[in-house]
Amino acid sequence: MREKILNILNTNAGHIVSGVEISNQIGISRVAVWKHLKKLKQEGYDINSSSKGYRLADSENLLYPFCFKNREKKIHFFHTTSSTMDSARKIAKNNGDHLSVVIAENQTKGRGRLNRTWFSSPGGLWFTIILKPDLPPPLSFKVNFAASLSLVRTLNRLFKIDASVKWPNDILVKGKKLAGLLSEMETKGDMISFVNIGIGLNVNNSPKKNEPKAISIKDITGKKVSRKKILSSFLDEFESKLLNIHY
């Protein structure tokens, strides 16, 4: 029900939608609508209330499937999960599609390379891409490199950020960690069954509280930016790079 409410508010982004209209569209009482909206606010969604109704103040930072119209069926959103890597592994083993994306607003056990703790503070972009390339395991590094390169190019194009890749799993800006990548692979015979690439990108969060040597896009640009635009642009860039990877 909450996702349906957010979808309605997102469709009417910038405009007030009455409780009666929401109630009629999803078939629940106005009291139930109010309770769901109250819970959404407690979870951190920026929803303005007035006597006329409700307005979603920041639609650019929603990451639900309905926000990605051309990829909606391949987006798996969790408000809270242990880690997107854990969820992606289950989905991949359960016939999850190539280029499916698992996104979480919160991770309770986010992790980096060598099982180091990854602090997933609110406002960051935490996601894992499920890939099923027609490649043998020794060539899996190609998709990892494509992901790193695509992320650097996306950040430079959108924000003129001069980021660099510290192989194998860090994206740095002036020596400070902006993003981390983690990959996990499962094989079948002599070929890759799936390889999942997890990405933690500091966007509108404040990573310095837990990681003094980390930095976010907000720290660099001095303003809040669109997580939805970053993810969409990155996925477009990454998908184009994958087309050039051959066995």
Q: Which 3 state secondary structure label does DSSP give 190?
A: coil
Q: For each of the chain's 247 residues, which pLDDT tens digit applies?
A: 999 999 999 999 889 999 999 999 999 999 999 999 999 998 888 999 999 999 998 889 999 999 998 899 999 999 999 999 999 999 999 999 999 999 999 999 877 666 677 778 889 999 999 999 999 999 999 999 999 999 999 999 999 999 999 877 899 999 999 999 999 999 999 999 999 999 999 999 988 777 888 999 999 999 999 999 999 999 999 999 998 886 6
Contacts of 12 (CB under 8 A, 6+ apart): 55, 56
pLDDT score, position 161: 96
pLDDT score, position 212: 82
Cβ–Cβ < 8 Å for 143, 245: yes
pLDDT score, position 85: 96
Contacts of 10 (CB under 8 A, 6+ apart): 56, 59, 62, 64, 66, 67
pLDDT score, position 168: 76
Q: Which among 85, 91, 131, 132 has a CA at the least distance from the CA of 109? A: 85
The torsion angle over the Cα atoms of residues 228, 234, 237 and 243, rounded to 10 degrees, is: -110
pLDDT score, position 13: 83
Q: Which 3 state secondary structure label does DSSP give 46?
A: coil
Cβ–Cβ < 8 Å for 233, 159: no
Q: CA 82 to CA 108: how far, in whole Å? A: 5
pLDDT score, position 247: 64
Question: Residue 243, class by beta-carbon neighbours within 10 Å (0-12 exposed, 13-18 middle, 19+ buried)?
Answer: exposed
Q: Which among 103, 61, 62 has a CA at the least distance from the CA of 83? A: 103
Q: CA 178 to CA 182: how far, in whole Å? A: 14
What is the pTM assigned to this prediction? 0.91
Q: Beta strands of the chain (E only): which ranges?
A: 47-50, 53-56, 75-81, 100-107, 125-131, 164-166, 170-173, 176-188, 191-201
